[in-house]
Amino acid sequence: MAPVFALYIILTVLFPLFRCEDFYTTSENHVESPLCCNLTVTERIDVDYSSKVIENEYIVTFDGYYKSNARASYITAALNNSGIKSWKILSRENPASDYPSDFDVVLIEETDKSLGLDALTDHPSIKRVTSQRMVLRTLKFINTHEYVRRGRNSLSQNGQFWQATGRHTSRRLLRAIPRQITSVLQADALWNMGITGKGIKVAVFDTGLSKTHPHFRKIKERTNWTNEKTLDDGLGHGTFVAGLIASSKECLGFAPDSELHIFRVFTNNQVSYTSWFLDAFNYAILKKINVLNLSIGGPDFKDHPFVDKVWELTANRVIMVSAIGNDGPLYGTLNNPADQMDVIGVGGIDFEDHIAKFSSRGMTTWELPQGYGRVKPDIVTYGAGVRGPNIKGGCRSLSGTSVASPVVAGAVTLLASGVLHRGDDINPASVKQALIASARRIPGVNMFEQGHGKLNLVKAYQILNSYKPQASLIPSYIDLSECPYMWPYCTQPMYAGAMPVVVNVTILNGLGVSGHIIGKPQWFPYTPQNGQYLDVAFSYSELLWPWSGWLAVSLSVNPKGIGYEGVAQGHISLTVQSPPAQGESEPRQSTVILPIRAKIIPTPPRHKRLLWDQYHNLRYPPGYFPRDNLKIKNDPLDWNGDHIHTNFKDMYQHLRNSGYYIEVLGSPFNCFDASQYGTLLIVDPEEEYFPEEISKIKRDVDAGLSIIIFADWYNVTVMKRVKFYDENTRQWWMPDTGGANVPALNDLLALWGVELGNKVFDGPFKFGDHEMYYASGTSIAKFPDDGVLISQKLKDQGQQILDPDGDHEETYNAPILGLMQSKASDKSGRLVVYGDSNCIDASHMDKACYWMLDAILEYTSSAHMPLIFKNNRMIDTAAKVETDVPERMEGNKLYRYSKVLDNHLGDSQAKALPQCPQLVWAQPVPLNISAPTNFYQSQRLLSLTEETPIPIAPVSHQFRV
């Protein structure tokens, strides 16, 4: 994808998406500054971002760093031969203008720019051409109680602001929180050793800082990357972030003697541009910055050139710390660049060690549809009610992962200053290794909420001070029986015949910026602990760069374990090699062990086994796939993965609690044995279907497989209404599906005489005793007469969107649920279609309908029709609303992102059906040993010397009832 500007916000002018700096005020006093004025505990600062393309301006990225005259010659050579006459290279007025650069901004004023853009792209020294973007940041005051009620209320748990961690909730003494965040994290223990940040260059990319602010000792350099003629902070945000890192008075920062390098990348009107950030990043590399805080983020993990520049920064030994986002408690909401393997991604907790509800959760969604995402965040720390400097002096308290990020950045700066004597052994990988190895795990919280746990500054220093260069793994072990930390893996035992469980592991390489795995990983089952029942397969990065890579571990129960019930254990071993360091003659090597434990049960009965179709779900950023609920205008992209462990997490847990076993299909329908499963779940699919898949599913249903489909809206006119400008294609970008790909679903459903319509319906209704809400769903246009069809009175939301000023109070009798028995044979399965997935999708749920899912599964599993469906059956089907069947949008570009479609001479058609995944199981090397009972406690980093205890002054705690 093209750049979404350096803030990684969504590619849309119409709707701001993320709030990575949503601040919840907890100050006991009123705050007086442009950012916060007269705030009370019931208000919070809401930071919205929106972006727009700057017409006629393009970022031309080169394949290396060149002086300005060389860059100009390349651009001139490309454009002079293209026929473009009216163009110019925009001048730079910032500190980077005197140095070589890898990009320029070109203004092309001619109406037809395509020839010029193509000519630039074709030049051998030009890597890519993307549109320049402007970003607007808007600060708003919102009543926090109102915020909980609107939009996100379905995500709250009993109205609690903080996520429960499983600890007891009876009356107890409450600790009075110390005023200084540095005292809470025991930074004074390092200060007492003379470690104060001296010798470390730390960069703050934000809104600037006043030169005369009384809290700072060493503002080494202030640079302005905006078009305003000032270096000062006009908003207060940059001051607060810098203060958490390096304030020396009142509200103390962690590293008061560090060199602060202030990069002002936002104007006082809260505007920035892609090119400003790229220039600033290049300057940070030039200045040999050690630590960089980035309290920004967004959903586009494929964004270029921003991602490329982040990799380049860390490859140049810049330790980048970034906030994971404020889209919690929803899963799959981790923001980029915090989700990068080489970046330290930080989540937020409160002072009672609860995960902050606003803190985004993993898993990462890069790996879908194969396997599950990697563990993120890396670490959590205090991000709620933290005190930091005000814009002109004094202190205030703010909350958000944008607060937690500079807390960790300040801690890293302090740590790095204490180990300067270790030289090149201190790098982005080793620092992250020390942070995660020392972190204190929070009880009752899973790894996609807390990462490795709570920041432990003193322990991290002990580890870093004695650190031996090595490789390590995230997670450091796989225990599929350890709940709740290893959620979701621990929630379902393994059994023979199931889809393989895929665990994606991050490899941190402290040996060097680049490396590779020698030979192949090996699998060592433990014979005393029945490891022989497990089959293990691997895939992994060919190159570990920068400082990291990935290892995908596939686990399956082999046929020998079909009747076994118990635990199976073993370990994986792999060796990482990097080039020799300076002064060394031999390559560096490190062997790491990954312990494995899995609980195995006999294979459950067929009717209890459900298969979730992940293969036909598509999501942003590969393409523009719109959000299913059209009312959510500030969050239009479907970007949470549509996985049973992200935005369908609550549904998954409900099904597990009901006794069902759920497996995930990451390949076409031809790649599973339908005789093993009672029901196939197809929810909110955007992908097309291979003809062979449709034929195969018909045979499967005839043989007894049941199918449940939760669809969503599809209307070409509405799709055109939610368009936005795509930087990659330099044109207005239409979504290539609606909420779901209804035309593709109709191809599948035609086998049973079922069709979905093109109208978009919305509204509340009552189903039996249950309050329901239909949120931007489709309707059933055609259904067999011998099936059960259920309708409700709903409004035409599509007309409301297309004609917002009209009168749209009329309701229509829209069929929304259909249930039918296939008649192919006595053993045939059943088909259920519901036109809206929002009632099982936690990302924008109005009212949950898990009760209805239970009733549907009762029908598909046993053929018993629940009374609620019988009693609400539509008798007069002639009274249903008339609706057309949708056709695919003419000229759609779904083939660009599809695994199924191929564009042949402008006509999309199906590709050849791919081969089903064939895992190559590793040859087991059995060992007659037993594993430790606690993998977590047994994991340690290798040290050069024994860790030296640090004397910690006792902290006086005040208690109150």
User: Which residue, among 412, 370, 901, has the nearest Cα to 643 in the 3D structure?
Assistant: 370
237 has catalytic annotation: yes
CA distances to 320, 367, 369, 441, 648 from 447, rounded to whole Å, are 21, 17, 20, 9, 17
Catalytic residue among 210, 247, 360, 402: 402
Name 872's Cβ contacts closer than 8 Å, sequence gap at least 6.
767, 768, 790
Which is catalytic among the residues 213, 215, 237, 354?
Answer: 237
Beta bridge partners of 472: 508
Strand partners, 818: 789, 833
The closest alpha carbon to 774, from 832, 815, 746, belongs to: 815
Q: How far is CA 251 from the centre of its chain?
A: 32
For residues 819 and 787, the answer to whether their CB atoms sit within 8 Å is yes
Cα–Cα distance, 781 to 759 (Å, whole number)? 10
Catalytic residue from among 206, 342, 378, 841: 206
* Burial of 937 per CB tally in 10 Å (0-12, 13-18, 19+): exposed
Residues composing the chain: 961
Which residues pair with residue 770 across a beta bridge?
Answer: 767
Which SS3 state, helix, strand or coil, does residue 169 take?
coil
Q: Dihedral, CA atoms, 339, 341, 343, 346, nearest 10 degrees?
A: 50
At residue 436, the 3 state secondary structure works out as: helix
CA distances to 157, 184, 333, 349, 401 from 353, rounded to whole Å, are 17, 12, 21, 6, 14
| 168 labelled catalytic | no
Strand ranges, E, within 399-525: 471-474, 478-479, 501-509, 516-525
Residues 416, 407: Cα–Cα separation, whole Å: 14
State the DSSP code for 409.
Answer: H
Contacts of 32 by beta carbon, 8 Å cutoff, 6+ apart: 38, 390
- Sequence-distant (6+) residues with CB within 8 A of 915 are none
Amino acid present at 317: R
d(CA 830, CA 819): 8
802-838: b or e for each residue (b if 16 or more CB lie within 10 Å)? beeeeebeeebebbbbbbbbbeeeeebbbbbbbbbbb
- Cβ atoms of residues 135 and 271 within 8 Å: yes
Strand spans (E) along 231-365: 259-264, 271-273, 291-294, 319-323, 344-349
Nearest Cα neighbor of 200 from 392, 389, 20, 422 is: 422
CA distance 11 to 893: 17
864 is known as an active-site residue: no
Q: Rounded to whole angstroms, what are the CA distances from 917 to 281, 365, 537, 694, 920? A: 41, 20, 12, 19, 10
Residues 6+ apart with CB under 8 A from 666: 368, 369, 370, 371, 614, 615, 917
CA nearest neighbour of 466 among 439, 433, 491? 433
How far CA 193 is from CA of 188, 256, 380, 663, 951, in Å, comes to: 9, 14, 25, 53, 10
Catalytically annotated residues: 206, 237, 402
